[in-house]
Amino acid sequence: MAPAPTVRRFFAPLALAAIGCVLMLAGGVAARSHCRADCKQAITDCLALVPSNEECTGTRAEKRACRKLHKAERKACRRLVKLCKQQNPSTVGICVPGASACTFLTKWGTPGSGNGQFDQPVGVATDPAGNVYVGESLFAGRIQKFDANGTFLTTWGSGGSGNGQFNGVKGIATDASGNVYVTDGSNRIQKFDGNGVFLTTWGSGGSGDGQFSGTVGVATDADGNVYVADYGHDRIQKFDGSGTFLTKWGSPGSSNGQFAMPYGVAVDGSGNVYVTETGNNRVQKFDGNGTFLTTWGTPGSGNGQFQSPLDVATDSSGNVFVADTSSNRIQKFDAEGTFLAAWGAYGTGDGQFAGPSGVTTDASGNLYVADQVNNRVQKFACP
């Protein structure tokens, strides 16, 4: 199957994570700190991540849409650095992390292409045995598998559009049987066993059922069904574990059941589906067939507000964790959207983040975060 050209780069929320000076404290206490110099560096880092227009491929219309998106990304970088300076006016001190609702346990990863190293990890998932799978985004086309403490086990994949290759991993999920589902920039889902043996693939560019304009977040339910965030079409598509199309929901907009750049998707133990939107800065909750149940979140830096939330995860207690990427923090809610806690700040220390883009939990209640720009995974114990 020849994948369609990638029309949208799905970059903007990741680049905006470089604006790391909007510091958050659980309980709503604002942290005032030295950030003007950091803000200046942040916009430099942000703009450096915007892809060149030369990378836009496809038809003339597709290239035009791609260039338009890149222009919007550069504008967003400049807009958020202004917010950074407004919220951090002091010229003395240092950036400090907020109080953490979860306890830091361990971390692993350094920049690079070797085993246990990362090139912008964006997706993370755990299997029933407690193994951790990490997908890398911009330049590395691979999945790495670790045990729960970060010991490297195996890896598979390379850059490309063939079976078992990846055009920049976007999302990763596992099912109850230990199979691994991966989305990439080729508008498709690939399915592997837990050791990386290729099983099947489905999807292509287009607007029909089973076609996509940007496969990003992916999740499974207890029955083995697969939910995919179709970013460019502002919808969710649902399949069985073999890729047979089952249903879809969503359209562009900001009303209940509509989406503006849906990115992350998660399913809880009751089969409810949670979707993060980078455009509307909110979380929406649905049943397994797409019936709207509730929503929460508005743009901003307060508790329960979001700035480009990329991923979402649930635990066995029904808690919902959201990677609030451009605020460099994790927020925790109950299943109805009641705010419980938040932690994180821009930085390289334990419990600090630089673009947290992927979150997942394990059966023991631990939380794993793909800390993209810091090229590492952090693990927390969450009550």
Question: Does residue 284 carry a pLDDT above 70?
Answer: yes
- Give residue-wise pLDDT tens across range 210-222: 999 999 999 999 9
Task: Using DSSP, state whether 231 is helix, strand or coil.
Answer: helix
Share of the chain above pLDDT 90, in %: 71
Task: Using DSSP, state whether 4 is helix, strand or coil.
Answer: coil
Rounded Cα–Cα distance for residues 68 and 300 (Å): 25
CA separation, residue 377 to residues 2, 164, 250, 323, 366 (Å):
33, 23, 32, 13, 13
- Across 30-43, b (16+ Cβ under 10 Å) vs e yields ebebbbeebbeebb
Count the neighbouring beta carbons within 10 Å of the beta carbon of residue 62: 18
pTM score of the predicted model:
0.78
Using CB atoms within 10 A of its CB, is residue 192 exposed (0-12), middle (13-18) or buried (19+)? Answer: buried
- Give residue-wise pLDDT tens across range 298-320: 999 999 999 999 999 999 999 99
For the chain, the average pLDDT equals 84
Q: Which range among 53-57, 127-131, 172-176, 317-321 shows the weakest confidence by mean pLDDT?
A: 53-57
Rounded Cα–Cα distance for residues 314 and 306 (Å): 17
Query: Letter for the amino acid at 233?
Result: H
End-to-end CA distance of the chain: 45
Q: Which range among 140-144, 155-159, 293-297, 349-353 shows the weakest confidence by mean pLDDT?
A: 140-144
* Cβ contact 176:149 at 8 Å: no
Residue carrying the six token digits 């607007």: 207
For residue 382, give every residue at least 6 positions away whose Cβ sits within 8 Å of its Cβ, in sequence order, or none.
101, 102, 103, 315, 319, 321, 332, 361, 365, 366, 367
Residue carrying the six token digits 């990490």: 134
Count the neighbouring beta carbons within 10 Å of the beta carbon of residue 331: 27
3-state helix, strand, coil in the chain (%, to 5): 15, 35, 50
Instruction: Name which of 374, 343, 383, 364 is nearest 149 in CA terms.
Output: 364
* Cβ contact 284:277 at 8 Å: yes
Question: Does residue 21 carry a pLDDT above 50?
Answer: no
Using CB atoms within 10 A of its CB, is residue 304 exposed (0-12), middle (13-18) or buried (19+)? Answer: buried
Q: Which range among 42-51, 107-116, 343-352, 354-363 shows the weakest confidence by mean pLDDT?
A: 42-51
Query: Letter for the amino acid at 138?
Result: L
Average pLDDT score over residue span 29-45:
46
Between 192 and 101, whose confidence is greater? 192
Rounded Cα–Cα distance for residues 58 and 80 (Å): 30
- Give residue-wise pLDDT tens across range 164-194: 999 999 999 999 999 999 999 999 999 999 9
Rounded Cα–Cα distance for residues 333 and 347 (Å): 24
Task: Kindly indicate the confidence band of residue 17, based on its pLDDT and cuts at 50, 70 and 90.
Answer: very low
Measured in degrees and rounded to the nearest 5, phi and psi for residue 42 equal: -60, -40
Question: Does residue 223 carry a pLDDT above 80?
Answer: yes
pLDDT of residue 66: 74
Question: Does residue 27 carry a pLDDT above 50?
Answer: no
